[in-house]
Chain A
Amino acid sequence: MSNGSIPIRLLDLHQDAVVEALLHQGLTEEQIQRAQADWEPVRKQAIETLLERGYPIQELPKHWGWDWTRKISRLGNPLLGFYGLECEGKMQGLLEVAKEGYLAKLPVQKGKPLIYVKYLETAPWNIKILEPKPRFGGIGSRLMRAAIELSLSEDCKGRVGLHSLPGDKKGEPEWFYQHVCKMEPIEAERDGEGLLYFELTAEKAEEFLKGGKS
């Protein structure tokens, strides 16, 4: 189910230029299948290359095992939302959120509804693990911005929660959510897999939006 697409701008790090892109609010089965088909061979090649270089297997990005086509059956579920960032005919990032069923844990907003990020992934050519200069920058931030904007439109005041994949070094998921998105970690709310819970307050959401450019 699609609620339309809006034009946005992305930073092309290879050309060092701002380029036009589309933020799809709602995805179709075809868009998800195409993204998975585009990403999967690049992920596989990247894993082989990194392992050949002696990269520790346990430090490979965990999201490279995600299969977005398994989420197709959830398209159209009114409790969920799907977003995609498209540039140059390819999906550069994907996001799945839950609009219902999650309440805030931080004392300052405890018990208030929030938007829960179930999955957020950047296309494999947009992360720094292989090359210091990936193709497009700011994909994760732009998708987080979409989650915050949804939170505002759902009257959740910008509150967002998520369980992050591990990695607290610069550029890794926990570092990104804590230092770029300004979310607060809550140790006591780790999930069954041990993933750390992060939450964004209404105030920090406003700050994040003020800091964004598109």
Chain B
Amino acid sequence: MADKRTMTLNLTDDEMNALDALSSRYDMTKTAIIRKALRMYQVIDTRLQRGEKLFMEDEVEKKKSELLVL
């Protein structure tokens, strides 16, 4: 397993509430949620850098919308 390092994270109340909600919904620690989010961001960013686009699709409504990622 890769070595891990510790850091302090400063979040607003809203951000912390969002993190709490995700942590509770998925039965995971906040650290695990942030690690997952970072991994997803990393993959999305790599593909956006290649010139690809990220879409969300609503199968019922047959709608696609482009998602902007910074």
Q: Is the CB of A79 within 8 A of B40?
A: yes
Q: Which residues of B contact A100 (CB under 8 A)?
A: 36, 39-40
A53 vs chain B, min Cβ distance (A) = 44
B52 vs chain A, min Cβ distance (A) = 15
Residue of A with least CB distance to B2: A3
Q: Which residues of B contact A112 (CB under 8 A)?
A: 26-27
| With A25-B1, A112-B27: A154-B40 Cβ-Cβ less than 8 Å | no
Determine whether A163 belongs to the interface, using a CB cutoff of 8 Å to chain B: no
Q: Which residues of A contact B25 (CB under 8 A)?
A: 111
Q: CA–CA, A78 to B39, complex, Å?
A: 6
> How would residues 1 to 29 of chain B score, 1 for a CB under 8 Å from any chain A CB and 0 otherwise?
11000000000000000000000011111
Residue of A with least CB distance to B38: A78
Q: CA–CA, A111 to B35, complex, Å?
A: 19
Q: CA–CA, A184 to B55, complex, Å?
A: 34
Q: Which residues of B contact A111 (CB under 8 A)?
A: 25-26
Determine whether A73 belongs to the interface, using a CB cutoff of 8 Å to chain B: no
Q: CA–CA, A151 to B35, complex, Å?
A: 14
Q: Is the interface of A mostly helix, strand, loop or mixed?
A: loop
| With A3-B1, A25-B1: A157-B27 Cβ-Cβ less than 8 Å | yes
Determine whether B43 belongs to the interface, using a CB cutoff of 8 Å to chain A: yes
> In chain B between 28 and 63, which residues have their CB closer than 8 angstroms to a CB of chain A?
28-29, 31-32, 35-36, 39-40, 42-43
Q: Which residues of A contact B43 (CB under 8 A)?
A: 77-79
Determine whether A168 belongs to the interface, using a CB cutoff of 8 Å to chain B: no
Q: CA–CA, A79 to B2, complex, Å?
A: 15
Q: Which residues of A contact B40 (CB under 8 A)?
A: 79, 100
Q: Is the CB of B39 within 8 A of A79?
A: yes
Q: CA–CA, A57 to B25, complex, Å?
A: 47
Which of A4, A78, A111, A154 has the most C-beta atoms of chain B within 10 angstroms of its own C-beta? Answer: A78
> How would residues 188 to 204 of chain A score, 1 for a CB under 8 Å from any chain B CB and 0 otherwise?
00000000000000000
Q: Which residues of A contact B32 (CB under 8 A)?
A: 154-155
From the candidates A3, A77, A99, A155, name the one contacting B28 in the complex (CB within 8 A). A155
> In chain A between 20 and 74, which residues have their CB closer than 8 angstroms to a CB of chain B?
25
Return the 6 tightest CB-CB contacts between A and B, nearest first. A155-B32, A78-B39, A155-B28, A3-B2, A112-B27, A78-B42
Pick 19 A–B contacts, CB within 8 A, sort by A: A3-B2, A4-B1, A4-B2, A25-B1, A78-B39, A78-B42, A79-B39, A79-B43, A99-B36, A100-B40, A111-B26, A112-B27, A113-B26, A113-B28, A113-B36, A154-B35, A155-B31, A155-B32, A156-B28
**Chain A residues near B (Cβ < 8 Å):** 3-4, 25, 77-79, 99-100, 111-113, 153-157
